[in-house]
Amino acid sequence: MSALDFTQTSTTRRVGDDERAQILADPGFGQHYTDFMAHARWTAEGGWGAAEVIPFGPLQLSPAAAVLHYGQEIFEGLKAFRHADGSVWTFRPEANGERLQRSARRLALPELPIEDFLASLAAVTVADEPWVPEATSEESLYLRPFMFASEEFLGVRASRTVDYYVIASPAGPYFPRGVQPLIVWITDEYARAGAGGTGAAKCGGNYASSLLGKNEAAEHGADEVLFLDSETHTSIDELSGMNVFAITRDGRLLTPALTGSILEGVTRHSILRLAQDRGLEVAEQRLVMSEVLEQVSSGEITEMFACGTAAVINPIGEFRAHGGSWTVGEGGSGEITLALRKELTDIQYGRIPDRHGWLTRLV
Ligand code: COI
């Protein structure tokens, strides 16, 4: 039982039925927002409280709020999926709740109890149920919980007031071109995270530090940027917001080990399980970029893909760098990549049995 009771303060919808239907017909990613949001506040004196579901809208924040100056902020990403019987489910929310707690510890923010995290997701989804796309599509309602330092104080120390919100956004494919092979730029200029830093936390600063790399990628006609480790600049870390996998000709699935500088992706972990289930040998290890590119060129690596909650599983068709370009496999979407993607989404949308018990019903 959740200690926080996310009571809805108003039932007046912000968006009319016709406009909502129009948005749901082609939501894109991260462009439209629902009618409501969940909120709770933490204070050093009173702990968590003030839980409510309120109309989605602008926040009132002091210009001296600590988050605006020192970036004390963390977030999560999950999806709510409509099943054929009309029910709505989310995927491994406890894993996201636990990661939010780990991120909170790293950013000196208060931990939100898992049951309160789950209650906040359910409260928003119940209030915004009409925003969950139909079961016929591969669309979902993207849930974005986030927490930030709201104390009006300019000294550098952990905030004594913290606000937590969950907003929701109907979502189609993360990439505008849909599930098409990505062109990935390997940056030799920027790194995403360093040893002892915040690389494993889901905090806004990691994403802010990826933006120049993304710009550099776009300048070279690429969709995404790949960061190498900051110390030796030789091994693969991750993309701007996705983990990376390679599949070898002899059926091994490889992904960078969790060294503390990459995000412990829930999708990443689920893929490792699904791959093991289908008899692939999986290895979490150091992946040296130059060796990976050699193996891509020789055909030893046949498929590569990126994964995350928002992007699901997206094939990588080509790498580009200052030294040249490398086509992965035939440059298209690999067979195993697409099979893993289908299996994961079939579980999420309730089209096949949830044998790992990964789904939680929200509505
Ligand atoms: C997610 O996949 O949910 C994320 O938070 C990553 C972001 C690039 C959208």
State pLDDT tens for residues 188-221: 999 999 889 999 999 999 999 999 999 999 999 9
Q: Is 265 close to ligand 1, i.e. is its CB under 6 Å away?
A: no
On whether the CB atoms of residues 150 and 43 are closer than 8 A, the answer is no
Q: Is 109 close to ligand 1, i.e. is its CB under 6 Å away?
A: no
Mutate to test the pocket of ligand 1, among 182, 203, 309 (most ligand atoms within 8 A of CB): 309
Per the prediction, the chain carries an average pLDDT of 97
Q: How far is the CA of 78 from the centre of ligand 1 (A)?
A: 8
For the residues 229-234, what does the mean pLDDT come to? Answer: 95
Index of the ligand 1 atom closest to the CA of residue 202: 5
For the residues 50-65, what does the mean pLDDT come to? Answer: 98
Q: How far is the CA of 310 from the centre of ligand 1 (A)?
A: 5
Mutate to test the pocket of ligand 1, among 167, 240, 242 (most ligand atoms within 8 A of CB): 242
Q: Which residue has a Cα nearest atom 6 of ligand 1?
A: 241
For the residues 26-49, what does the mean pLDDT come to? Answer: 98
CA dihedral 305, 340, 287, 260 (to 10 degrees): 100
Give Cβ neighbours of residue 26 (< 8 Å, ≥ 6 apart).
172
Confidence of residue 2 (pLDDT cuts 50, 70, 90): confident
For the residues 181-186, what does the mean pLDDT come to? Answer: 98
The token pair that represents 264 in the structure block: 């412990």
According to DSSP, the β-strands at 312-321 and 324-327 are antiparallel
| Spatial distance between the Cα atoms of 247 and 334, rounded to a whole number of angstroms | 9
Does 48 have pLDDT greater than 90?
Answer: yes
pLDDT in tens, 292-336: 999 999 999 999 999 999 999 999 999 999 989 999 999 999 999
Burial class (CB in 10 A: 0-12, 13-18, 19+), 156: exposed
Index of the ligand 1 atom closest to the CA of residue 309: 2
pLDDT at 178: 86
Q: Is 204 close to ligand 1, i.e. is its CB under 6 Å away?
A: no
| Spatial distance between the Cα atoms of 37 and 50, rounded to a whole number of angstroms | 13
According to DSSP, the β-strands at 73-75 and 140-149 are antiparallel
On whether the CB atoms of residues 110 and 4 are closer than 8 A, the answer is no
On whether the CB atoms of residues 331 and 59 are closer than 8 A, the answer is no
Index of the ligand 1 atom closest to the CA of residue 76: 5
Burial 166-203 (b: 16+ CB within 10 A, else e): bbbbbbbbbbeeebebbbbbbbeebbbbeeebbbbbbb
For the residues 148-173, what does the mean pLDDT come to? Answer: 98
CA–CA distances in Å: residue 16 to residues 21, 27, 29, 130, 319? 9, 15, 20, 11, 44
| Spatial distance between the Cα atoms of 294 and 213, rounded to a whole number of angstroms | 23
Query: Which pTM was predicted?
Result: 0.97
Does 1 have pLDDT greater than 70?
Answer: no
Q: Is 309 close to ligand 1, i.e. is its CB under 6 Å away?
A: yes
Q: How far is the CA of 75 from the centre of ligand 1 (A)?
A: 9
For the residues 172-201, what does the mean pLDDT come to? Answer: 94
| Spatial distance between the Cα atoms of 150 and 42, rounded to a whole number of angstroms | 10
Show the domains of the chain with their CATH numbers.
7-171 (3.30.470.10), 182-348 (3.20.10.10)
Q: Is 77 close to ligand 1, i.e. is its CB under 6 Å away?
A: yes
| Spatial distance between the Cα atoms of 139 and 25, rounded to a whole number of angstroms | 10
